[in-house]
Amino acid sequence: MKMKKKHIRFPKRLNFNNGKVEMSHGSGGRAMSQLIEELFQDAFTNSYLRKNNDQAVLPVDKGKIAFTTDSFVINPLFFPGGNIGSLAVHGTINDLSMSGAEPLYLSAGFILEEGFPFSDLKKIIDSMAKTAENAGVKIVTGDTKVVHRGQADGLYINTTGIGVIPNNINISAERALPGDAILISGPIGDHGIAVMAEREGLSYSTSLVSDAASLNGLVKSMVEAVEDIHVMRDLTRGGLAAAMNEISTTAGVGMLIEESAIPVRPEVLAACEIFGYDPLNVANEGKLMAICPSETSEILLEAMTNHPLGVQSSIIGKVIEDEHSFVEMKTQLGGRRLVDWISGVQLPRIC
């Protein structure tokens, strides 16, 4: 959910005279796309940014490096399955991994609110260190700022990462082709619902845990199993729906998926019914989607299900020709519906 989108039309342009930032501008939906397109992409125009991926692929000497940044403002700071620190490491590792890069180095920037307890800060930092070590990644540079009480909500963390992309790998959103298969690596919505339940103090919060995980190991198995993966994307803010719409608009294709093929845990479904959420819009922090030629999709699926983080992987549909870049879903009741971006605000501060 970075600087993306270019083919999307918005009914009204942003008002740079009297308009204001709204919560929806951070929600991973249309409003954020519009802000990115009409402000950031317009200002920082260059061919790397225009690729519309979650990371830039940059030529350096004779190789290619991947480069990605993410700020974390999650509330609450501690949730079932992790905290803002582990999430900040997982999230940036995953954004690098989605280019097929081997993640190598992270930076960490902290904005601390005056009065924030050191005990919590230590837990968060230790968790970052352990998460990075487990993923084989080094945190090599950092920065610390402190603001007065009431000028931040505890702490915010930025992690920015560098990875190296093997020369034979070229994974990028614009490579989605009609006929390609679409795969996901497991059940969706766990992170968003676990965080929401913790935030609201709901009793079922004990049973559900965020799926936050570093996906570089899974991705390694995948790129070793098949020769040509066209696209990969982790299913963070805005969920599976946002990822599919981003790729469709970037590649100028459509998608057709099967609801029955998408795994969702019963407790996630139940929570979504209570809150009126669509699991397709709910954030994940340890799930990815992949798009590859249909001929190799079964081999890729096998590689994914053989990895501990992809046991419940499935093929959920295919890329189709569509000049409107729509994503459509065959529902379990036999109908078809459009899978749209999230509109407005659903779950603020989920990452």
- Which residues inside 131-150 make contact with its own copies, applying CB under 8 A? 132, 138-148, 150
| CA angle, residues 97, 100, 104, in degrees to nearest 5 | 55
153 burial (CB, 10 Å; 0-12 / 13-18 / 19+) is middle
> Considering the complex, what minimum distance in angstroms separates the CB of residue 174 from its own copies?
16
* Strand stretches in 213-260, DSSP E: 231-234, 254-258
Binding residue for its own copies, selected from 93, 98, 101, 162, defined by CB under 8 A: 162
CB of 281 to its own copies, least distance (A): 17
Q: Can residue 302 be called a binding residue for its own copies (CB under 8 A)?
A: no
Using the rule CB under 8 A, which residue among 152, 264, 269, 299 binds its own copies?
Answer: 152
Of residues 113, 228, 278, 302, which one binds its own copies by CB under 8 A?
113
Task: Pick out residues in 163-182 that bind its own copies (CB under 8 A).
Answer: 164
Give the H/E segment covering residue 126. Answer: helix 118-135
179 φψ region: left (φ > 0), alpha (ψ -120 to 50), beta (else):
left
Q: Judged by CB under 8 A, which stretch of 12-20, 254-262, 271-279, 334-342 contacts its own copies?
A: 12-20
Nearest distance in Å: CB 171, its own copies: 15
Lay out the site mask for its own copies across 30-69 (x = CB under 8 A, - = otherwise): --x--xx--xx--xxxx-xx----xxx-x-xxxx-x-xxx
| Least distance (Å) between residue 186 CB and its own copies | 25
Residues 66-85 that bind its own copies (CB under 8 A): 67-73
**Residue 225 beta carbon to its own copies: minimum distance, rounded to whole angstroms:** 25
200 contacts its own copies (rule: CB under 8 A): no
In the complex with its own copies, the residue whose CB is nearer, 34 or 314, is 34
Nearest CA-CA partner of 85 in 220, 283, 236, 285: 285
- Write the DSSP assignment of 59-108 as a string of letters: EETTEEEEEEEEEE--SSSEETTEEHHHHHHHHHHHHHHTTT-EEEEEEE
Angle, CA 243 vertex, CA 95 and CA 111 arms, to 5°: 45
Under a CB-based contact definition with an 8 Å cutoff, are residues 192 and 267 in contact? no
Give the strand order in the sheet containing 254-258.
231-234, 288-292, 181-184, 314-320, 254-258, 327-330, 336-338
Query: Does residue 282 touch its own copies according to CB under 8 A?
Result: no
112 is a site residue for its own copies (CB under 8 A): yes
